[in-house]
Structure 1
């Protein structure tokens, strides 16, 4: 039995989207194991509330397709390399979560049976019902689509009730970069259309449109605050919600 101090989560099944850079810590690239462990602790704290959790992790800490393309690499090849980077990050997070006693499955859009399950929607739903964390790797399996779009796609397929965007250094959506502008103002709530019209840097346009078309709320919060994910899920702390009009 949960004690009276245990917060009641607002959602039963959620998608957590984090960038690959979130796993770097203070390093300029790669994985920082203590940071991976800290984020895994955040996920576990929410899992302990009985919430079913999907995850998508970017690959920018290892390789970013757009940057590779900008340097002369053929775009589809660069994007596939970025997808492989997300698998590496997913395996690292799986290892950290299972070290904390949280059963986890890495489910890849690119077939690699030795290290991850192939994506089969009904099987993934069953994992969630069995309270396993599902980490969706390999993006959508297609070039020209970002991991933001993969998160929105899988969240809809898994019938998630919201997408939680864990950010580094910011606790929501601002009208301009708060790191560069002291007068930047944070939105408490903003509509999908406003995000697109004002070009607010939340997710790419395809992901926002997919969330809007399926009325899937997006909650943007800071990953830096210990207990932040659990608090935001329970309606506490600072965040921005993207919603319908």
Structure 2
């Protein structure tokens, strides 16, 4: 019996198809480069940050930021009537417009914006803002962590999506995060903290007059100096551990609420 071998002709690829394959391969290279370029934070990548000084017309400052990580410092060394801003930025966009960041001072509002859009966009920015003593600061952040240190004047921080950290502060304090943890180690007499989805940890290094804390979904821990406090706590779904001495007539008041998470109010070690 004779067996006839059958051969298969190689598949022919049309010129348009080849061009599409090459285009896709080129895009993949661009995308890989973009992702590699922005794999770490702006502060890690950008070793030549931009610096600028803005004149501040009064004793109040609002920081309006959409995407950047923020570090805000109050300093005796910063001249009155001006703020110093350092900006780190790294960005890469494939198949889109070039990324950029902008900054401007409109009255007492410092506006920080990041423009980064495309088929694949990967950008990272960070700002360090140094303000003089005697300036009350409000931070309004869309998506980015906020850290603040050194304040003796009122400080308010509100972020939609990002953690909040505050240290070395004695002025009135209001902290709010929609989706992120809140932590403060301060000597402020008045502290208000709220997290929609994240833990709250407050460490008071001086006896406060008023502490208010609320957490929708996350644990809450409040460390207080030795003393007696008027304490009001409640949890929706979580254990309570209140070990500080209670005194319903105390001028030092602590109110804490959690929706889902453990609640601890204790004397600091």
TM-score by length of 2: 0.26
Q: Which has the higher contact order (CA 8 A, sep 6+)?
A: 1
TM-score by length of 1: 0.27
The structure that has the greater radius of gyration is 2
